Amino acid sequence: MKDILVLRDLEQIKAISHPYRVEVFGTFEGDQPQSAKQIAEKLGEPHAKVNYHIKSLLKVGILELVEEKVKSGIIEKYYLPVAHKLVIDKSFMQNIDDDVLHSISQASLSIFERVSEDFYKAIEKTSGRPKHITYHNDYYLTNEEVKELMQNINELVKDYLKDKKDKTRENVSPYSVGVMGIPKLTAQTKRG
pTM: 0.56
User: What residue segments make up the domains of the chain, in order of their start?
Assistant: 1-128, 132-164+175-192
- Encode pLDDT of 106-156 as tens digits: 666 666 666 667 677 766 776 666 666 677 777 888 878 888 888 888 888
pLDDT for position 110: 63
Measured between alpha carbons, how far is 96 from 136 in angstroms, rounded to an integer?
A: 30
Fold of 1-128: Arc Repressor Mutant, subunit A (1.10.10)
Report the greatest alpha carbon distance in the chain. 65
- Encode pLDDT of 67-84 as tens digits: 999 988 889 999 999 988
191 pLDDT above the threshold of 50? no
CB 84 within 8 A of CB 4: yes
- Encode pLDDT of 11-35 as tens digits: 888 888 787 888 888 888 878 899 9
Rounded mean pLDDT of 90-97? 60
Residue 152 backbone dihedrals phi, psi, to 5 degrees: -65, -45
The upper half-sphere exposure of residue 159, i.e. CA atoms within 13 Å in the direction of its Cβ, equals: 6
Q: What is the mean pLDDT of the chain?
A: 79
